[in-house]
Amino acid sequence: MKLFMMIPVILFCCLFPLALAADGLQVGFYSTSCGKAESIVEKVVQKRFSQDNSITAALLRMHFHDCFVRGCDASLLIDPTNETVSEKKDGANASVRGFDLIDEIKEAVEAVCPSTVSCADIIALATRDAVALSGGPNYNVPTGRRDGLVSNIADVELPGPTISIPELSKFFAAKGIENEEMVALLGAHSVGVSHCGFFADRLGGKPDPTMDPALAAKLIILCKSNPDAAVFLDQNTSSLMDNEYYKQLLLKRGIMDIDQQLSLDISTSPFVSAFASDSEKFMQRFGMSMVKMGEVGVLVGKEGEIRKNCRVFNNGTA
């Protein structure tokens, strides 16, 4: 059990008005159909966070991996069956966790408001609440998403840790996300971890000139003793959602190459410097970028469905 920490929360109470939401989404969508929905989500997330504060990183990863495949439609939550192989089985999703928390939230919401709140909205709301508990912005989440009807492993194409900045920018741009927003979203690594295998190429042979020698020496010892060891991507305030991640990049203390390259590439380095020097700016941009990411490819209105069980389509298939 991890120790619960009381962390100050920055509240942007009026940062995202209804007018900025994607068509069909709105802040307070469930205010009349399920007024307790957001408070139920928050309560369950708070309970889990008090037991395991790493749930923030888990939910951020889940939200990203869901939104960047078929859109934010909870297709990642679908379990595979004997007939179909869902997104969940792709290697890129092998380390995604927190599915049990989404199940717990869904069960609690269904008990009060049956077939009303989508699993896609639960992911978005739970992620926001976990971010706030970790010291990040408590941004408003427009809701009204519907759950998707397709989950296919063949659709999963996610960027790996060795992708170049130009390639990463192209990937995000295809989803309507600009470079500054991309750099802000990667600030989620402030509470993330990576296993040695994802950055081992930076440690072997010739020293990597873009990594702080003291950090490299430390990681070499750690990864030699345990090749599957998990390493905090923010070596200073690893359990806090703050701008320290960017400060570490400016000191050549990025763990994965893609992180360090953010501070070196001319298209992203100005944003790294800006976020490192201005915590409030990072918090604001992070919240706004999370909202924008949460609007990628959403289903609304009569599209899709509202799943009763987040792991299974309502017709019982995957």
* Per-residue confidence (pLDDT) for residue 33, from 0 to 100: 97
Cα separation of 314 and 134, whole Å?
34
Residue with structure tokens 């991309």? Answer: 182
∠21-318-146 over CA atoms, to 5°?
15
pLDDT tens digits in sequence order for the chain, 318 residues long: 333 333 233 233 333 333 345 678 999 999 999 999 999 999 999 999 999 999 999 999 999 999 999 999 999 999 999 889 999 999 999 999 999 999 999 999 999 999 999 999 999 999 999 999 999 999 999 999 999 999 999 999 999 888 999 999 999 999 999 999 999 999 999 999 999 999 999 998 888 999 999 999 999 999 999 999 999 999 999 999 999 999 999 999 999 999 999 999 999 999 999 999 999 999 999 999 999 999 999 999 999 999 999 999 998 665
Active site residues: 65
H/E segment holding residue 99: helix 99-112
pLDDT digits 0-9 by tens, 258-281 = 999 999 999 999 999 999 999 999
* Per-residue confidence (pLDDT) for residue 242, from 0 to 100: 97
**Beta carbons of 318 and 82 less than 8 angstroms apart:** no
* Per-residue confidence (pLDDT) for residue 21, from 0 to 100: 59
* Per-residue confidence (pLDDT) for residue 22, from 0 to 100: 63
- Which neighbouring-strand residues pair with 147? 305
pLDDT digits 0-9 by tens, 14-24 = 333 333 456 78
* Per-residue confidence (pLDDT) for residue 14, from 0 to 100: 32
- What angle, rounded to 10 degrees, do the helices at 55-67 and 279-293 form? 50
Q: How many CA atoms lie within 13 A of 14 on its CB side?
A: 0
**Beta carbons of 27 and 143 less than 8 angstroms apart:** yes
Distances (CA, A) of 253 to 211, 221, 259, 300: 6, 16, 9, 42
| Cβ partners under 8 Å of residue 72, min gap 6 | 63, 66, 120, 123, 124, 145, 293, 294, 295, 296, 297, 298
Distances (CA, A) of 155 to 77, 81, 263: 14, 17, 31
Cα separation of 128 and 146, whole Å?
18
